Amino acid sequence: MQGGILAGISNGEPVIARAAIKPIPSISRDQDTINTHGEPIKINIGGRHDVSAIPRIVPVCEAMVRLVLADHLLRKWAIEIHE
């Protein structure tokens, strides 16, 4: 079995987490901008084309996993201290 966690308990294997994000919608109305020559133009983007969040989501997901694991470790220590 892969994943490192079975029924909420670590099985000693590396923890594997999978994440999915929804596509980021683009604004589908006419927008004023400029081209590479500095001339004003209008653009209209159809569909979902904003991929700038994809490289940034990896460190965010890694940080969240670390925060959750640290939170559970601190909870375990708090329970042991109060027993």
Q: 15-58, pLDDT tens digit by residue?
A: 888 888 877 777 778 889 999 999 999 988 776 666 677 778 88
More confident residue, 78 or 23: 78
The model scores a pTM over 0.85: no
Write down the pLDDT at residue 1: 45
Write down the pLDDT at residue 27: 74
Bridge partners for 33 per DSSP: 41
User: What's the CA angle centered on 25, arms 21 and 31, to 5 degrees?
Assistant: 155
Assess whether pLDDT exceeds 50 at residue 80.
yes
